[in-house]
């Protein structure tokens, strides 16, 4: 008989995206995300993560995403996000999408510019 005490884990998608992970104590490093779902992720680490720790992530256009470390192996760690995320926003490149608002560059694509 299946154990109904824990809800089923959401399907994870294999991805290779980069995330900035802020560790307890203020240290922040770029880490590779191996798989991703709306509720969590598997990230590579170099031994700095411990089960139960809370970290902050910046991934895609998502900033200040709180996550709890659920499990750890020598190279990988499983994170559970504090709130569900938009997978499309998480997959976007970080820092892309800023639109200039002043100067000549703001009008560079204006069809009526002479």
pLDDT in tens, 32-89: 999 999 999 999 998 889 999 999 999 989 989 999 999 999 999 999 999 999 998 9
- C-alpha to C-alpha distance for 13 and 36, rounded to whole angstroms: 5
CB 31, CB 16: distance < 8 Å: no
pLDDT top residue among 9 and 21: 21
pLDDT at 51: 96
Please spell the DSSP secondary structure of 77-114, one letter per residue: EEEEESS---HHHHHSPTT------SSGGGGTT-TT--
What distance lies between CA 42 and its chain's CA centroid?
A: 10
pLDDT at 26: 78
């Amino acid at each position: 008989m299946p154990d109904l005490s824990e809800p089923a884990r959401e399907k994870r998608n294999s991805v290779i995206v980069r995330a900035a992970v802020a560790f307890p104590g203020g240290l922040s490093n770029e880490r590779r995300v191996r798989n991703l779902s709306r509720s969590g992720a598997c990230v590579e680490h170099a031994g700095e993560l411990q089960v139960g720790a809370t970290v902050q992530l910046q991934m895609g256009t998502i900033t200040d995403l709180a996550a709890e470390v659920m499990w750890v192996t020598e190279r990988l760690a499983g994170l559970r996000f504090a709130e569900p995320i938009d997978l499309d926003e998480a997959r976007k490149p970080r820092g892309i999408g800023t639109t200039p608002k002043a100067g000549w560059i703001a009008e560079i694509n204006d069809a009526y510019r002479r």
